[in-house]
Structure 1
Amino acid sequence: MALTYGAYTACLSDRPLTAALDVLKEAGLTGAEVNVGGFIPSPHCPVDALLASKTAREDYLGLFSERGMRLSGLNTSGNPTSPLPNEGLKHAEDIRNAIRLAGALGVGEIVTMSGTPGTDPTAKYPTWVVNPWNGIDMEILDYQWSVVVPFFKEIDALARDNDVQVCLELHPRNLVFNVPSFERLIEETGATNIKVNMDPSHLFWQQMDPIAATKRLGGLIGHVHAKDTKIFPGAAYRGVLDTDFGHVAADAEGKVPVAYGYWCNAWPEDPAWRFVALGLGHDTDYWADFLHAIEQVAPEMNVNIEHEDAEYGNVEGLKLSASNLLAAAAKL
């Protein structure tokens, strides 16, 4: 058994699935992770049609196999515990459908997030408590855990029934965003089928060590996103907790949706950090060490590139990341 190297096809959403798979294969990759809900659309996976028809599922998997590729994950990253109905309720149902579809397709894992509830039962918007030095914040956190724990007890049971691992990305602006909060979730839910999607990029900018986190989590890791981050001089005076972002106009081209009527904001011109193509924030020796740590956890792990480096075109950046990832893999 060996690690499987692939990519998340969201960055190739401007082309049909078959063309996206061809790009991945040309880059030397063998796995593909597709989006099935959450923050962004699902152009590479007709969820409802696949849930309704075994023949449709067989034909869909055939698109992968005839190219020597495999479907290595379903992604539905969003905010399933948001108090906004068009966000929370929709994203929660997307997770349930992703689990059912993964089970029907024989895909072992999905990627999602814990989400962020509001401050209390009457809250309209999600609230992320960053540093609860104020006693008021503990009341908010207590309420948020009272929302997230029962939700993921339900999700864990559904995942167990479908033989699927639900892998949470440790992503800031989520209740579960680092190792201790994930460990708390497992302790309070007793979950057996909730794991971590180990994405080093979000750990890097929080000044965490992905290799140390991998060793601590061990078998609690169920999926990997190969994604890099570079720290910039702005960190010297901004720190990593920065609200200096700008509005993006509703008619702006290329805006990234996050919920109905909402999209990503504009970054500062001199940010403290940003996502970069794999290998541009940390060299191949680092990534070889990271892959070795993952291999020690599970030698058959799916490792999928997530390309979000705005300095490169989607195909260009993905291929650069693939080249550096495979170079690191060759060092194992």
Structure 2
Amino acid sequence: MKLGAYTACLHDRPLDETLKILGELGLTSAEINAGGFVPAPHLPIDDILASPGAREEYLGRFTQAGITLTGLNVNGNPLNPDPRVGPKHAADLHRAIDVAAALGVKRIVAMSGLPAAHPGSPVANWIVNPWDSQYLDILDYQWQKIAVPFWKDINTRAAAADVKICIEMHPQNLVFNPPTLQRLVEQTNATHVGAELDPSHLFWQGMDPIACVNYLGDLVFHAAAKDTRINPDNVKLYGVLDDRFTRTPATASPLNLGGENTLNQWPPNPSWEFVAVGRGHGIDDFWVPFLRALHAVDPDMAVNIEHEDQEFDQVEGLRLAAENLLAAGAKAGV
């Protein structure tokens, strides 16, 4: 099993410095962004697609650092009905498949996407509790008219490139839990689409990530190491579907997510928050059995830290997550 990090948290640093940091932390795997919600400063996409020499030089930098390039990440909304967002994110995913094939990388992390509720609407619509028949009508449209044709094509492209697409089960997407992941695979007859098992979003929805690994089995292709801390006193008042996010002021340079969309600010006392590995769930209680469950599915699986703990800067948060992940790996014997 390869333990490493997704390098988006170090996008302000050059690739070689980023790989050096990972190596100094004892990590051996890297996942590099290839488009979608965030840019790709660590991946010279045009050069890689144009030149075998550029590909060899790029991979050589990983070899020199003692790091294996285990995945590309293109998280976004390729089904977004906004013409400024969806087509670009879909094109990024198509291009990431080409780049992965050129580099010999076998895993691409993506999101399933979320369409509009009906033709002509410019706004994505997440139906999470379809108690009224009109909501099932929306889901039928989103799945059968939009998602299934799109993902059938992605599976064909991925199979031709010998690449597995690893979907992060993320709220505000059609695929946000194991049954919806399984539904997508079954309805598209996919052979090269499965799951990236990120426990953080499963935790706050009330799921058991280890049970999810066991349920999905061979459909788990890749994994993330990101923890979630549930704040029970706040959950008592706001629930886990906490909507108290606020707009990020323009003076704070909000992260653009495509078109006019930007990343909002978290509430000051959230019901839940992303934290470094071990700060939400214990090493022995969760992370050791989680790694063992992943190892049982695929002993060569990559598990990459995604650092989003707001209480630590980029390197310190990554260092804490790496220490705890490596300790869990040692205890798990993986």
Q: Tell me how far apart the structure 2 counterparts of residues 248 and 194 of structure 1 sit (CA, whole Å).
A: 35
Structure-1 separation of matches of 2:172 and 2:250: 23
TM-score, with length taken from structure 1 = 0.98
The correspondence of residues 184-199 of structure 1 with structure 2, limited to 5 A, is 184-199=183-198
The whole-number CA distance in structure 2 between the counterparts of 1:50 and 1:148 is 30
1:149-192 deviations in Å (ceiling 9; x for gaps) = 11000000000000000000000000011111111111110000
The residue that corresponds to 2:84 in the other structure is 86
1: CA distance between counterparts of 2:164 and 2:282?
A: 30
Letter in 1 for 2:185: I
Q: Is 1:315 the equivalent of 2:315?
A: yes
AA aligned to 1:24 is L
Question: In structure 1, what is the Cα distance between the partners aligned to 2:282 and 2:259?
Answer: 38
1:175-254 aligned at under 5 Å gives the runs 175-232=174-231, 233-253=233-253
RMSD: 0.8
Summarize the alignment of residues 79-158 of structure 1 with structure 2, pairs less than 5 Å apart. 79-146=77-144, 147-158=146-157
* Identical residues among aligned pairs (%): 52
What's 1:165 paired with?
164
Partner of 1:24: 22
For 1:49, the equivalent position in structure 2 comes to 47
Residue by residue over 1:60-107, the C-alpha shift from the partner in whole angstroms, topping out at 9 and shown as x without a partner, is: 001100111111100000000010112100000100111111011010
Report the CA distance between 1:250 and its aligned residue: 2.3
Counterpart for residue 294 of structure 2? 294
Q: Which amino acid aligns with 2:225?
A: A
Secondary structure, counterpart of 2:122 in structure 1: coil
Q: Which amino acid aligns with 2:119?
A: P
Find the partner of 1:60 among 53, 58, 61: 58
2:55 aligned partner, one-letter code = R
Query: Distance in 1 between the 2:257 and 2:25 partners?
Result: 29
State the one-letter code of the partner of 1:164. V
Q: Output the CA distance in 2 between the equivalents of 1:245 and 1:67.
A: 40
Distance in 2 (CA, whole Å) between partners of 1:261 and 1:45 is 25
**Offset of 1:243 from its aligned partner?**
1.5
CA distance in 1, matches of 2:44, 2:210: 36
1:260 and 1:201 map into 2 onto residues whose CA distance is 27
User: Counterpart of 2:70?
Assistant: 72
When structure 1 is superposed on structure 2, of 238-247 and 315-324 the one drifting more is 238-247
Large movers: runs of 4+ above 4 Å: none
Q: Any idea what SS the aligned residue of 1:86 has?
A: coil
| Unaligned segments of structure 2, at least 5 residues | none
Once residues 268 and 277 of structure 2 are traced to their aligned partners in structure 1, the CA distance between those partners, rounded to angstroms, is 22
Distance 1:208 1:267 in 2: 22
Deviation of 1:52 after TM superposition, in Å, equals 1.2
1:255-266 superposed matches below 5 A: 255-266=254-265
| Aligned amino acid, residue 174 of structure 2 | L
Instruction: Report the AA paired with residue 242 of structure 1.
Output: D
Secondary structure class of the residue paired with 1:85 = coil
1:216-262 Cα shifts (integer Å, max 9, x gaps): 10100011001100001211111111211111122314x33321322
SS at match of 1:234: helix
The alignment covers a number of residue pairs equal to 329
Question: When the two structures are superposed, what TM-score results if normalisation uses the length of structure 2?
Answer: 0.97
Aligned mates of 1:209, 1:257 — CA distance in 2: 32
Between the aligned partners of 1:258 and 1:142, the Cα distance in structure 2 is: 27
State how far apart, in whole Å, the 1-side matches of 2:117 and 2:235 are.
29
Q: Counterparts of 1:173 and 1:262 in 2: how far apart (Å)?
A: 14
Q: Secondary structure at the match of 1:278?
A: coil
What one-letter code is carried by the residue in structure 1 that aligns with 2:177? N
> SS in structure 2 opposite 1:251?
helix
Tell me how far apart the structure 2 counterparts of residues 74 and 202 of structure 1 sit (CA, whole Å): 20
